[in-house]
């Protein structure tokens, strides 16, 4: 699909995908660097169920999933997982603590995850090669 100006919309998806991947990878790395125990304690404090399990799972999702987003691998599924994570972060964690205006980052990442789920990886993505070969990722 080409825009009126001749630019392909896939490049916008590429920028979104890489930016989101870097944000999530950085946040995932920070969870590991601070110690997964601290992440689990925070999750318990905000009443996330099974914090000892969910904390490390989210840290891995953010670090590994963020790197995979940068590479453009499994973008639609990672977009869905990140959208679900940001839905919980927005309405369960951030909004009760900070109100609507304190959730801008989470809402933008939620919107970005939904966009990647529906629209795909954009340009310069491993997904482009995999989909052309008929592989299910």
- Tell me the DSSP string of 19-43: HHHHHHHHHHHHHHHH-HHHHHHHH
Sorting pLDDT into bands at 50, 70 and 90, what band is 9? Answer: confident
Q: List Cβ neighbours of 46 (8 Å cut-off, separation of 6 or more).
A: 92, 93, 97
Where are the alpha helices (H) located in 89-125, listed in sequence order? Answer: 95-98, 104-119
Q: What is the largest CA-CA distance in the chain?
A: 51
Q: What is the pLDDT of residue 86?
A: 98
Q: Residue 133: its pLDDT value, please?
A: 56
Instruction: Locate the domains of the chain by residue range.
Output: 10-124
What percent of the chain has a predicted confidence (pLDDT) above 90? 85
pLDDT tens figures, 13-59: 999 999 999 999 999 999 999 999 999 999 999 999 999 999 999 99
Rounded CA-CA distance 78/72 in Å is 10
């Amino acid at each position: 699909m080409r825009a009126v100006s001749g630019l392909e919309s896939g490049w916008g998806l590429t920028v979104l995908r890489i930016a989101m991947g870097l944000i999530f990878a950085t946040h995932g790395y920070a969870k590991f660097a601070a110690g997964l125990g601290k992440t689990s304690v925070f999750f318990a404090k905000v009443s996330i169920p099974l914090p000892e399990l969910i904390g490390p799972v989210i840290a891995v999702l953010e670090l590994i999933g963020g790197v995979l987003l940068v590479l453009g691998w499994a973008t639609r599924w990672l977009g869905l997982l990140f959208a679900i994570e940001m839905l919980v972060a927005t309405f369960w964690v951030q909004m009760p603590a900070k109100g609507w205006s304190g959730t801008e980052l989470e809402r933008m990442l939620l919107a970005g995850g939904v966009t990647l789920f529906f629209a795909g990886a954009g340009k310069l993505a491993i997904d482009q090669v995999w989909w052309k070969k008929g592989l299910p990722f």
